[in-house]
Amino acid sequence: MWGAKGPNSFDCSGFVYWCLNQVGVNQSYLTSSGWRNAGRYTKITNFNSIQAGDIVVVNGHVGIAAGGGTVIDASSSNGRVVHRSLSQWWANNFICAWRIF
């Protein structure tokens, strides 16, 4: 469900877009690759510096750090939002994160 911006179905970047707009951040829609150069927020380049609320950008995917070593993201393959470990896969594919708050 590529490009799904919710609220009943999401892809990864649509989920981030929807969440940010729900909390009053006026952010236009960006693809996961677009998040590599979002620019207007504080860029985090060290995976170990990720904090809750940061937008986490990995190769071909994006999610929101939820704290406690977890991430919330949506899968374009099933349109569902999942809460999971910010695992080694995320670390291995990490590009950057963006601190918005």
Phi, psi of 99 (to 5 degrees): -90, 115
Name the active-site residue from 12, 19, 54, 96. Answer: 12
- The residue from 11, 54, 61, 96 that is catalytic is 61
Answer whether residue 7 is part of any domain.
no
Does 44 map to a domain? yes
Give the Cα separation of 66 and 86 in Å (integer). 9
pLDDT at 95 over 70: yes
Amino acid 7: pLDDT: 78
Is position 3 within any domain?
A: no
Tell me whether residue 1 is in a domain: no
Q: Model confidence over 22-64: pLDDT tens digits?
A: 999 999 999 999 999 998 999 999 999 999 999 999 999 999 9
C-alpha 95 chain-centroid distance: 12
Split into its structural domains, the chain has a count of 1
Residue 19 placed within a domain: yes
Domain residues for the domain of 50 are: 12-99
CATH code, domain with 22: 3.90.1720.10
Known active-site residue 19: no
Whole-model pTM?
A: 0.92
Q: Is 83 a catalytic residue?
A: no
The answer to whether residue 66 is domain-embedded is: yes
- pLDDT tens, 63-90? 999 999 999 999 766 778 999 999 999 9
The verdict on residue 90 lying in a domain is yes
Is residue 62, in this structure, part of any structural domain at all? Answer: yes
Nearest 5 degrees, angle CA 88-CA 85-CA 78? 105
